[in-house]
Amino acid sequence: MLLLCPLQDAQTSKTNKNTKPLRTCLINVIILTSGLYITISVTAFVLFYLTDCVFMI
């Protein structure tokens, strides 16, 4: 996504010279990072739960 941001900026700066491209780029980055964080936390929880079950047996 970070690599696509300059391309989006270049394309949209021709049509309108607002700060919208940068804002959408930041929103995309925030969504990506939050998605990664959720995925990591869920994976960690599942791994912890599985190891807990293994130790219980």
Output the pLDDT for position 41: 93
- 12 part of a folded domain: no
Q: In the chain, how many domains are there?
A: 1
- 18 part of a folded domain: no
Higher per-residue confidence, 4 vs 30 = 30
Distance (Å, whole) CA 26 – CA 49: 34
Output the pLDDT for position 6: 53
- 29 part of a folded domain: yes
Distance (Å, whole) CA 4 – CA 56: 47
Structural domain including 32 reads 24-56
Phi then psi for residue 20, to 5 deg, are -65, -45
- 6 part of a folded domain: no
Model confidence over 10-56: pLDDT tens digits? 555 555 555 567 788 888 899 999 999 999 999 999 888 888 766 66
Sign of CA dihedral 30, 35, 38, 43: negative
